[in-house]
Amino acid sequence: MVIKCPVCLKQWDSSLKVARHVFGTGDKVHKTWVNSRGVSFTDLLIRQATGSGNQSFLILAEIIEKAQADLSEDQPDACQKTDMRDSPRAAR
């Protein structure tokens, strides 16, 4: 299963790796994206530093997984396929 970073579209084989990438990069665009999903990037970082386990990674990984649907919906290719299927020519 390929998971893309919703910000820079780099790919990994698990959402946890993408979460690690987002934390590790930590530049303005990645921070802004995390904040735009309704969670505080800084809070997650603090929680990761002070808490035990992977809780922050898991939270971020879940957000990244949900964002994958938005990424594929934006692809123009999917729209074109639907248009072709609905056209009278394709039905013949």
Binding site for Zn ion (CB under 5 A): 5, 7-8
Q: CB of residue 58 vs Zn ion: minimum separation in angstroms?
A: 18
**Please, which residue, 8 or 84, has the CB nearer to Zn ion?**
8
Q: Are 77 and 36 in contact (CB under 8 A)?
A: no
Cα separation of 45 and 22, whole Å? 11
User: Collapsing DSSP states into helix, strand and coil, what is residue 56?
Assistant: helix
User: Residue 52 is encoded by which pair of tokens?
Assistant: 């035990």
**Please, which residue, 5 or 19, has the CB nearer to Zn ion?**
5
Q: CB of residue 76 vs Zn ion: minimum separation in angstroms?
A: 22
Q: CB of residue 66 vs Zn ion: minimum separation in angstroms?
A: 16
- Give 16's contacts (C-beta < 8 A, 6+ positions apart): 54, 57, 58, 61
